[in-house]
Structure 1
Amino acid sequence: MNEIKIFCPATIANLNCGFDVLGLCLEGIGDEMIIRKVAEKGIRITKIIGADLPLETEKNVAGVAALAIVNAANPDCGFEIEIHKKIKAGSGIGSSSASAAGAVFGINELLGKPFTRQELVDFAMKGEALASGCEHADNVAPCVLGGFTLVRGYNPLDVIKIESPSEIYAVVLHPQIELKTSDSRAVLPSAVPLKDAITQWGNVGGLIAGLYTKDYELIGRSLQDVIIEPARKQLIPNFDLVKNTALQNGALGSGISGAGPSIFALCKGQEIAEKVAYAMSNSYLETGIAFDMHISKVNDEGVKTI
């Protein structure tokens, strides 16, 4: 096999209480990539469609991630990467992580799978660092592994995949504005009051317990963020109105997707998800900002060959 075409799914990171440690993988929303094995060593990005991103390998998230896996494997060949971007940069649903995950997955497949999916997360993080300024796995882990993921630790990297309860649906409202991850991180507090930290720890534990026991009410109670959301919501027009509208129409919980500006809601069942999506859309119309709406089940597979 000398060429592979890949679907690289979008993701929701943080899930309110789990900043930099929790994420989930979405169905039907994602980039596509074509990766070719070539005789000349090195990584070359030959084409990018759908976004104005650098073709230079060291300046591109996919290129940096690809270099990480190639340096580890040291193959007697090189790779060309073609990227078809369908997740807008700065959208808050894992645009950079999709590129990073797709690059390492595709190269690993063409090399005969020398690395496990868990190991691919580590390589993909190198690319993610180019976009955000630090290595974090809350988007790349669910993109590579699928389902919900918990990053228990980074040194060494320890990621746990959690299968989604069958009735969980995600709704995502994506405003057509860009919010860079680096800018969104710049507004975060440098210190956290102990009482807020205790609240957040309890919510993380409650969310994990709710996912494992399929306790939808516990999942909803745990989707609370007392640390990150208060600092970031000012960057997202009409955030409070959209969130409250989602909750009033039956969402289990709602919050900022990743670094924003996308707003997500988790719902039990497709019927409630569709109702919540309609209500969130109506509440955002008054901003005059164009937006996309997505309704998705949780993708348990992650990045894959198509």
Structure 2
Amino acid sequence: MKKVKVCSPGTSANLGPGYDIFGLALSNPYDIVEVEKTENGITISVEGEKAEEIPTNVDENTAGVVAKKMIQDFKIESGIHIHIIKGIKPGSGLGSSSASCAGIAFALNELFELKLSKLELVKYSSLGEAVAAGAPHADNVAPAIFGGFTLTTSYEPLEVLHIPVDLEVLVALPNIQVSTKTAREILPKEIPIKDMVNNVGKSAGMVYALYNNDLDLFGRYMSKDCVVEPCRANLIDGYSEVKEKVKDMVYGITISGSGPAIITIPKKEHVIDIENIFKEVWNCPVYYTKVGPGCYVEEIE
């Protein structure tokens, strides 16, 4: 095996009250990560969405950080060239950096037959997130590896729970710049006990709703975060207006990750109406997609 080409999905984290815990893999958008064996060293090239803004220095690139650590840990003597085709806009709130991190970990596991478990791949993938978010987080890389709906329930030790789900989502991507670091810094350092009870209760209810295929309950609870969303809503012009306009057309609506992407669980008969509202307010790309699988191999040479 000389080269592997991997599809790595976009993801939506938090899903309202599940801050830093819940994650959802999306069928669209996605990145393509190609890794080819070379004589020595690690080189990186990037094309696609905002490619010109993505560093190709190994220590500054999220995929490069993951690759460097895996090559060191497994004493891989071959060099590699990483080519990333960005289909997920960086800074979108749709797991752009996570897709690169997960894609490279998955690709190296295949290319060098490392036989790592999905949980081990999540551990390596999360190292690259420190470049983008300032600390290693698994809420986006977990669904990028596992697919479906994931819960990162512990970091020491790392624990990820996985629930396969069949769910359609409608995502808007406003042309608004939201810094992941800023989106984390504005969050409260302490919260009232009643807010903690609300979010724990709503999160538990969302899991219950998945097992009972109750879209109404899942979406209603997804929309009831009282800790993170109220802070981040101020970073996205028009969000409160849109949330009010579509409230009867969706089962649920919330900010995807740190934003600016907005994720909804739409009522099928209103999909076009919701799209029109998104475009009227933001004139932005809209993805009508579904929950998808984690990383998978597209091609091997």
Please give the TM-score of this superposition, normalised by the length of structure 2. 0.93
Measured against aligned partners, the alpha-carbon deviations of 1:246-301 in whole angstroms (never above 9, x if no partner) come to 3211x111000000001110136xx34xx23x3333334454x44100011110x2
Whether the 8 Å contact between 2:24 and 2:150 is mirrored in structure 1 is yes
Show the counterpart of 2:77.
76
Whether the 8 Å contact between 1:242 and 1:280 is mirrored in structure 2 is no
> 2:89 and 2:215 mapped to 1: Cα distance?
31
Q: Does 1:297 align with 2:298?
A: no
Alignment of 1:93-172 (within 5 A): 93-164=94-165, 166=166, 168-172=167-171
Show the counterpart of 2:266.
267
Whether the 8 Å contact between 2:99 and 2:141 is mirrored in structure 1 is yes
Show the counterpart of 2:62.
61
Q: Aligned AA for 1:109?
A: E
Query: RMSD value over aligned CA atoms?
Result: 1.5
* SS of structure 1 residue aligned to 2:247: helix
Q: Aligned AA for 2:201?
A: G
Whether the 8 Å contact between 1:6 and 1:303 is mirrored in structure 2 is yes
> 1:244 and 1:43 mapped to 2: Cα distance?
49
**Structure 1 residue 243 displacement after superposition:** 1.8
> 2:201 and 2:216 mapped to 1: Cα distance?
15
Measured against aligned partners, the alpha-carbon deviations of 1:114-138 in whole angstroms (never above 9, x if no partner) come to 2111110010101011101111111
* SS of structure 2 residue aligned to 1:126: helix
Q: Does 1:2 align with 2:2?
A: yes
**Structure 1 residue 244 displacement after superposition:** 2.5
Measured against aligned partners, the alpha-carbon deviations of 1:125-176 in whole angstroms (never above 9, x if no partner) come to 0101110111111111001110000001111110011111x3x211100012
**Structure 1 residue 68 displacement after superposition:** 2.3
> 1:65 and 1:262 mapped to 2: Cα distance?
26
Alignment of 1:279-294 (within 5 A): 279-287=273-281, 289-294=282-287
> 1:18 and 1:124 mapped to 2: Cα distance?
20
Measured against aligned partners, the alpha-carbon deviations of 1:193-220 in whole angstroms (never above 9, x if no partner) come to 1000000000111011111222223212
Measured against aligned partners, the alpha-carbon deviations of 1:64-95 in whole angstroms (never above 9, x if no partner) come to 11122222222121211001111111111010
Distance 1:26 1:47, change over 3 A: closer
Q: Aligned AA for 1:252?
A: Y
**Structure 1 residue 47 displacement after superposition:** 4.1
Whether the 8 Å contact between 2:176 and 2:236 is mirrored in structure 1 is no
- Consecutive aligned runs of 4 or more in structure 1 exceeding 4 Å deviation: none
Please give the TM-score of this superposition, normalised by the length of structure 1. 0.92
Whether the 8 Å contact between 1:246 and 1:265 is mirrored in structure 2 is no
Q: Structure 2 regions of 5+ residues with no counterpart? A: none
Identity of aligned residues (%): 37
Alignment of 1:45-60 (within 5 A): 45-50=44-49, 51-52=51-52, 53-60=54-61
